[in-house]
Amino acid sequence: MKLSDFSIKRSVTTAMIILMVLLIGSVALSRLSLDLFPDITFPGAAIVTTYEGVGSEEIENLITKEIESSVATVEGVKSITSTSSRGSSTVVVEFNWGRDMDFAVQDLREQVDLVNSMTLPEDADSPMIFKFDPAMIPIMVYGVSAQGLEIDELKEEVEDELIPRLERISGVAQVNMRGGLTREIIVSLKRDKLSHYNLDFNTITNIVRAENINVSAGDVLRGDKEFLVRTVGKFSNLDEIRNINIPVGNGQIKLSDVAEVRDGFADLKTLSRTNGKRSLSLAIQKQTDANTVEVASAVREEMDRIRNDFPNYSFSIAMDQSEFIEDSIASVSQNAILGGLLAVIILFLFLRNIRSTIIIATAMPISIIGTFILMYFADVNLNVISLGGLALGVGMLVDNAVVVLENIYRYRSMGEGKIEAAREGASEVGMAIAASTVTTVVVFLPIVFVEGMAGQLFKDLALTVAFSLIASLIRWVVIILLVIMLIGSLALIPQIGFEFMPSTDQGSFSVNYELPAGTALSRSNEVSTEIESVLMNIEEVKTIIATVGSGGQMMSTSTSSHLGTISVQLVDLAERDRSTAEVMEEIRQRINIPDVDLSVEEQRY
């Protein structure tokens, strides 16, 4: 039995199937994740090794080359690039497309563990391996400050109270904090006293380290009970450190006799400011399979509760991916709906029959909702690419519906009854419509076999098809003009420009600067302050969060005093006359600092 015959003879069954599709499709839509672009898995990993206090040349010889030679034997490696900087080694391994990254990282870890145990310096930190994952890019960045609290007190409170609350949110992977002070007990040895008592630095260090330890002393039986004995040696105050006994000859002295012990802070490695005031910066990362919009919404709700619990705190947001994602998806959805409405209006103008127009208009939402079921089971999320393809499918659906309806109308005009006209009209063109649809599917099928980033992110599909359909309307009527335009178009090709992703006004950008290697943090801080003063004088700027001593690299765990990054959030597009690109260009023109390599880049999600 043909599908058309079944639909006519089993009308109640057909109606129930349609209702079931609508119900399941609605549930599937509610469970589809929302993001800006499709999930992208780049076949690469970074191996980061930190060795504080060592120069770049030693890093290269002692760590980078050893790791490179070890991981080069892993199967499927396409290329290896490395960066050796002061105190840090980063080796990036790119694999062939199609390589299972879980197994690839496991193979890398085996090789790295082997070289770590045999050849890497003992004082170096253990190498860390990161898969390239878009989820490692923070979805939100907050600047945190508080009235009545010093920066060290603020850091302690944020670590103990705020960060655990944020990390408990479903979908949040971790919260990274920068810009705080780290408490440190400073023991300053007196050189003349050491010489007088014939002591050296290593002797004092070993004694202090041995004293600051808790040790298990075994078990003690008392009657029918067993107790665990533990000797507590961890320091609880400064006097305990000052009163450490130091053996000297036949006697002993106190540590305070040869050293000054004071409570202080570790040397600053990073600084953070929000709108020119000292603060902390919190970068929130989501889990890989989490919905960006839902996670950001949950974070904002928790931040509102934190504001109520800590009224003296001030929070400023410099980046929120979810806002741009919601705006982009809403824009694409709105355009698709408007396109469907325009299609219905044009159909009515040509068909001049309200019933025929309603039939076609009813078919569109049913097909769209049915598509959500396939998207859910195919693990395709809602993004600008999938919605663009959905809009394209709606256009093809209208074409097929018009063909079927017109053929049914032809049979009605020939005197056939309603049922017979529907059966014969749909059956006659059914095979042709199926062939047409399959042909279109086959045209796009080779995309499945495209490798590389283009295969995972095939964009601008809707625009390309729309332009080709518009061009197809212009036929022999303007053939002469077309020849002239073709010649002119060929001449203008070099002026069009090429880019992987079209530019969008996201309302946020970052200013990254780099000073000569070895520049002190104080000089880097002066440069950051000068850049911030320029930014604060631009009326479109809403929030500025500066991090001094870090380049904001996703795969780096070390800090470099000669680097800095400043995240800038502009006011909403409706509240400004200039685009983000125009503001960025003004900043490039206004900032001119000697020996500073400056880059102003729009934040890409």
Amino acid at 79: S
Amino acid at 34: L
Asked if 241 and 235 touch (Cβ cutoff 8 Å), the reply is: yes
Q: What is the pLDDT of residues 352-400, one digit of tens each?
A: 778 777 777 777 777 777 777 777 777 777 777 777 767 666 666 667 7
Domain of 88, CATH number, reads 3.30.70.1430
**Burial class (CB within 10 angstroms; exposed 0-12, middle 13-18, buried 19+) of 348:** middle
Give DSSP secondary structure letters for 432-488.
HHHHHHHHHHHHHGGGGG--SHHHH----HHHHHHHHHHHHH--GGGHHHHHHHHHH
Provide the pLDDT for residue 494. Answer: 54
Number of separate domains in the chain: 4
Domain of 217, CATH number, reads 3.30.2090.10
- The residue segments making up the domain with residue 477 are 3-31+354-496
Instruction: State the pLDDT confidence band at 166, using cuts at 50, 70 and 90.
Output: very high
- The reply to whether 367 and 433 lie within a common domain is yes
- The reply to whether 596 and 518 lie within a common domain is yes
- The reply to whether 123 and 189 lie within a common domain is no
CA distance 555 to 30: 34
Provide the pLDDT for residue 302. Answer: 93
Among candidate residues 268, 245, 249, 272, the one with its CA nearest the CA of residue 258: 245
Judged against a pLDDT cut of 70, whether residue 90 lies above it is answered with yes
Residue 326, domain member (yes or no) = no
Provide the pLDDT for residue 505. Answer: 67
Judged against a pLDDT cut of 70, whether residue 491 lies above it is answered with no
Mean pLDDT of all residues in the chain? 78
Q: What is the pLDDT of residues 103-116, one digit of tens each?
A: 888 888 888 888 88
Among candidate residues 37, 18, 16, the one with its CA nearest the CA of residue 26: 18
Q: What is the pLDDT of residues 527-536, one digit of tens each?
A: 989 999 999 8
Taking residues 237-266, what's their average pLDDT?
86
Judged against a pLDDT cut of 50, whether residue 486 lies above it is answered with no
Residue 596, domain member (yes or no) = yes
- Listed residues 496, 526, 556: the one ending a domain: 496
Residue 146, domain member (yes or no) = no
Judged against a pLDDT cut of 80, whether residue 155 lies above it is answered with yes
| Higher pLDDT pick, 163 / 602 | 163
Find all residues with CB under 8 Å of 604, minimum gap 6, and list them.
Answer: 501
- The reply to whether 414 and 526 lie within a common domain is no
Find all residues with CB under 8 Å of 205, minimum gap 6, and list them.
Answer: none
- The reply to whether 20 and 68 lie within a common domain is no
- The reply to whether 117 and 211 lie within a common domain is no
Among candidate residues 32, 61, 67, the one with its CA nearest the CA of residue 48: 67
- The reply to whether 62 and 18 lie within a common domain is no
- The reply to whether 380 and 475 lie within a common domain is yes
- Count Cβ atoms below 10 Å from residue 546 Cβ, excluding itself: 27
Provide the pLDDT for residue 480. Answer: 29
- The reply to whether 218 and 118 lie within a common domain is no
Provide the pLDDT for residue 198. Answer: 86
Looking at 156-160, 307-311, 442-446, which range is the least confident one?
Answer: 442-446
- The reply to whether 73 and 191 lie within a common domain is no
Judged against a pLDDT cut of 70, whether residue 493 lies above it is answered with no
Q: Which one-letter DSSP state was computed for residue 255? A: G
Residue 248, domain member (yes or no) = yes
- Listed residues 233, 265, 297: the one ending a domain: 265
Residue 370, domain member (yes or no) = yes
- Listed residues 231, 265, 299: the one ending a domain: 265
pTM of the model: 0.67
Residue 286, domain member (yes or no) = no
Judged against a pLDDT cut of 80, whether residue 438 lies above it is answered with no
- The reply to whether 362 and 482 lie within a common domain is yes
Q: Which one-letter DSSP state was computed for residue 223? A: T
- The reply to whether 9 and 63 lie within a common domain is no
